[in-house]
A and B are shown apart, each in its own frame.
Chain A
Amino acid sequence: MEIPLAATLSRAGQDYLGTFKAMATPCEVRVETDDAGLGRRVADAVEAEARRIEAKFSRYRDDSIIGQINSAGGRKTVVDAETAHLLDFAGQCFDLSGGMFDITSGVLRRAWRFDGSDRVPGASDIKPLQKLVGWKKLSWRAPSLTLPAGMEIDLGGLAKEYAVDRALAAARAITAAPVLVNFGGDLAVSGPRTSGTPWHVAIASVDKDDAMAGMLELVGGALATSGDARRFLLKDGVRYSHILNPRTGWPVKDAPRSVTVAAPSCVEAGMVATLAMLQGKRAELFLKREGARAWCIR
């Protein structure tokens, strides 16, 4: 499968900056170098990895592995090693979150459309969908996955952070120069900039005026942000975040509007942020208890 690469390369201060759009998000990679050729190679490698993962795990494509699994109609699908590892990870996160993180909960979006309106579904809309939710209902034993008919899996909650980590690894395989990979706010760095100076990362505000809510200095690891800046419903003064509790079928109550977590990898940061959001009003307590380096906005 030919992946057409279309990143735009430009000079930004000390860095070469590559930008492209993938996974419905603006993506960028910065590499601190004076070598334009290196900038182009790094941008191409990062974009290639992002598009590969998007094509492979997108639920919108019939030819992706997720598309095949979801259209198997109750029959068994044999998956490759990379998908197997992601499924194992999803299963382990299901266990350690007490069932709150569940990649089978995507079917609930058929009832919930988070378009900023006040159209909140009723119990009769949600009940039939709940029968199709539940990690324990499917059969996963590497390398075969069997989904009962009607159920779907959705790796959207993992794929972007996973893509950030894999894209960074691809960039590091090419160069030892400082690299920052940022896919729509989920980002990771290879290490500090030259002579040990940190990267400066702005945390976006959740309000429409897009002013900065804060600035972080990053010398290593990754950041991930979970939030509802654009996807929410507002009815009778109650804000329904787009994070749904798979056990009830309803949005998590009183979730923070944004959680940003710093961790050694983007996958880890993203999972901590998601689990924090799922705690609703206990998000800050959860983050504090787990010793996460995190920043909540309510």
Chain B
Amino acid sequence: MQLKRRKAGRVGRAISAVSATLLIATAASCENSAVAQDFYGLDKAGRDNFGPGIAYTEFDGALLIYQEAGGRVQAIEPTANLAIHGARGQQLTLGAVADAVSGATPNGAVPSDRTQTFVTPLKPQGSSTTVTSASGGSTVIQLPPTPGQLASAALGRQYTTAPNTLPMDKGFRDHRAALTAGWSQPLGWVSEIGGGAGFSREEDYQSITANVRAAKNFNSDNTTISLDLNGEFDSSFPFGGVPTGLTAMNAQFKPVTTRHKTQLGFVLGLTEVMTRNWLMALNYSYDSQKGYQTDPYRVISVVDPTSGEPTSTLYENRPEQRKSQSLFWDNKVAFGPTVTELSYRYFTDNWGISSHTVEASERINLAKAWYIEPNVRFYHQNAANFYRAFLVSNVAFPAYASSDTRLSRFDAITYGAKIGFRVSGRSELYVRADYYTQSGDGHPANAIGQLRNQDLFAGTKAAIVQVGYQWKFH
């Protein structure tokens, strides 16, 4: 006798789905995941070993290698994260980051058809004062004596830039270490309440961050609303002291050694499971930063109004107040063995900057335990209202000016791919590589004299490679 098969109705499909979920979940928690998944043939992710109500720990480790083209910045950044999940929804997170950055970075001056010389403070007695070309092509020079100054302080570091090349400071080196910790748990009717703190320290900068967060689920957990309040207190103690903005670049030690910046902001988030396949998130953020936001090492060239030759070099100056907002919209859609992600962010602030970011990625689960995930990102920003590629000597200086390309108008595109391998039901290894390139107008209409023959855009092209490992255990 044959029992006829007909198309399943709504309740029939629902029973089928919850039965499969039950059997895979219990099989996983009884260590039979491979058998269960083959048998039920539905979900190869082996996920429910680590779901709500089950205590487990997750360790993530990764190594990032960043290399810019043209001998510019390179960085190595190992990171690690430990997340301990309790059976009752509590979570403790600990993170550590270290990075070592070196290489050459544009100092903000314009290229010239003549050799240019720049001077900066030199590390004091006790550290190495013999300078070889390995130290970035700088030389130690004797500064003209200033009344009341120690003789040893009358040394400076000088470097030159060849004609028609972008001025770069090659002696750039920094080490940073940071720690973060966070806690979250359900409390009463609040689905999640938590907070965290972070501390980051590098040779010339320190940052202390703190945040508190609350979230509530509605609608059978299909909707989550969250509010995150965050604050940051930063201290900048650049080598050589904090220069006064728009004064001449020099090798003296400046009297002000430290400047601070405080930041307060919030993120209002909405996460919604739209359909069985589609998850959506919408975040609105607001930030207010007060205090020192200038790059103490960056300069801006003052050029002759006719020839365009640089006549002097001044330290840049940025406003001490910055208010910004952003709206971020993220979508993840699961189709069979793939997950598609598409996101858009709009950012705007009172420095006149606004930007659009679009990111897309497609994760494709392949047979066995592999997946590949190509991705692309498009970015466009317009310039800050105080961005100037250069200043002109016969025009009154504005209150704020910076030639930092990062504040200019440019487009950027990133493309890359990631490959992952599920080593076991509990751990995963991944490698990804991306190529990031910025493009902007190197020949603006206001270029004068020799500047018309120079490329005034100092944007980056960089390769980003990261290897990571995720491991879950009970």
Interface residues of A (CB under 8 A from B): 78, 81-82, 84-86, 88-89, 92-93, 96-97, 142-144, 162, 165-166, 168-170, 172-173, 190, 214-217, 262-265, 267-268, 271-272, 275, 286, 288-295
With A96-B11, A172-B35, A268-B16 given, is the CB distance from A215 to B1 under 8 Å?
yes
Task: List chain B residues, Cβ under 8 A from A267.
Answer: 19, 22-23
Q: List 8 extra interface pairs beyond A143-B87, A265-B40, A267-B19, CB under 8 A.
A: A81-B26, A89-B22, A92-B18, A96-B18, A173-B32, A263-B19, A265-B19, A294-B3
B19 touches A271 (CB 8 A): yes
With A93-B18, A173-B32 given, is the CB distance from A86 to B26 under 8 Å?
yes
Task: List chain A residues, Cβ under 8 A from B16.
Answer: 263-264, 268
* Residue B368 interfacial (CB < 8 Å): no
* Residue B218 interfacial (CB < 8 Å): no
B14 touches A96 (CB 8 A): yes
Interface residues of B in 44-70 (CB under 8 A from A): 48, 52-54
| Cα distance A275–B10 in the bound complex, in angstroms | 13
SS class of chain B's interface: helix, strand, loop or mixed? Answer: helix
B interface residue count range (under 10 / 10 to 19 / 20 to 34 / 35 or more): 35 or more
A81 touches B15 (CB 8 A): no
* Residue B5 interfacial (CB < 8 Å): yes
* Residue B25 interfacial (CB < 8 Å): yes
* Residue B276 interfacial (CB < 8 Å): no
Task: List chain A residues, Cβ under 8 A from B32.
Answer: 169-170, 173
| 13 cross-chain CB contacts under 8 A | A81-B53, A85-B26, A143-B87, A165-B23, A166-B27, A168-B39, A169-B27, A217-B1, A264-B19, A265-B23, A290-B12, A291-B8, A293-B4
| Cα distance A289–B2 in the bound complex, in angstroms | 18
B53 touches A265 (CB 8 A): no
A169 touches B35 (CB 8 A): yes
Task: List chain A residues, Cβ under 8 A from B7.
Answer: 291
| Cα distance A162–B24 in the bound complex, in angstroms | 12
The chain A residue sitting closest to B36, CB to CB, is A169
B4 touches A268 (CB 8 A): no
With A81-B54, A96-B18, A173-B32 given, is the CB distance from A272 to B12 under 8 Å?
yes
Task: List chain B residues, Cβ under 8 A from A92.
Answer: 14, 18
| Cα distance A169–B15 in the bound complex, in angstroms | 20
Task: List chain A residues, Cβ under 8 A from B10.
Answer: 290
The chain A residue sitting closest to B6, CB to CB, is A291
The contact string, 1 if C-beta is below 8 Å from chain A, for chain B 443-461, is 0000000000000000000
B15 touches A96 (CB 8 A): yes
* Residue B29 interfacial (CB < 8 Å): yes
| Cα distance A173–B21 in the bound complex, in angstroms | 19
| Cα distance A286–B16 in the bound complex, in angstroms | 15
A89 touches B30 (CB 8 A): no
* Residue B20 interfacial (CB < 8 Å): yes
B3 touches A295 (CB 8 A): yes
Task: List chain A residues, Cβ under 8 A from B5.
Answer: 291, 293
How far in angstroms is the closest Cβ of chain B from A86? 7
Contact of B9 among A165, A263, A290 (CB under 8 A): A290
| Cα distance A297–B3 in the bound complex, in angstroms | 14
How far in angstroms is the closest Cβ of chain A from B3? 4
| Cα distance A157–B299 in the bound complex, in angstroms | 77
* Residue B114 interfacial (CB < 8 Å): no
Task: List chain B residues, Cβ under 8 A from A214.
Answer: 1
Contact of A293 among B3, B18, B20, B27 (CB under 8 A): B3
Most interface-central of A93, A169, A275, A288 (chain B CB within 10 A)? A169
| Cα distance A166–B27 in the bound complex, in angstroms | 8
* Residue B173 interfacial (CB < 8 Å): no
Contact of B20 among A143, A265, A290 (CB under 8 A): A265
| Cα distance A49–B16 in the bound complex, in angstroms | 23
* Residue B254 interfacial (CB < 8 Å): no
A86 touches B53 (CB 8 A): no
How far in angstroms is the closest Cβ of chain A from B432? 33
The chain A residue sitting closest to B34, CB to CB, is A173
Task: List chain A residues, Cβ under 8 A from B12.
Answer: 272, 290-292
A275 touches B15 (CB 8 A): yes
B26 touches A275 (CB 8 A): no
| Cα distance A214–B35 in the bound complex, in angstroms | 32
With A96-B14, A172-B35, A272-B12 given, is the CB distance from A216 to B19 under 8 Å?
no
Task: List chain B residues, Cβ under 8 A from A97.
Answer: 11
The chain B residue sitting closest to A289, CB to CB, is B9
A172 touches B39 (CB 8 A): yes
The chain B residue sitting closest to A101, CB to CB, is B15
| Cα distance A215–B1 in the bound complex, in angstroms | 6
| Cα distance A107–B18 in the bound complex, in angstroms | 26
How far in angstroms is the closest Cβ of chain B from A79? 8
| Cα distance A31–B30 in the bound complex, in angstroms | 23
Most interface-central of B15, B16, B40 (chain A CB within 10 A)? B15
The contact string, 1 if C-beta is below 8 Å from chain A, for chain B 164-196, is 000000000000000000000000000000000
A143 touches B88 (CB 8 A): yes
Task: List chain A residues, Cβ under 8 A from B25.
Answer: 81, 85
The chain B residue sitting closest to A223, CB to CB, is B3
How far in angstroms is the closest Cβ of chain B from A31? 15
How far in angstroms is the closest Cβ of chain A from B14? 5
Task: List chain B residues, Cβ under 8 A from A172.
Answer: 35, 39
Task: List chain A residues, Cβ under 8 A from B1.
Answer: 214-217, 295
The chain B residue sitting closest to A92, CB to CB, is B18
B52 touches A142 (CB 8 A): yes
The chain A residue sitting closest to B52, CB to CB, is A142
A271 touches B15 (CB 8 A): yes
| Cα distance A238–B259 in the bound complex, in angstroms | 91
B29 touches A85 (CB 8 A): yes
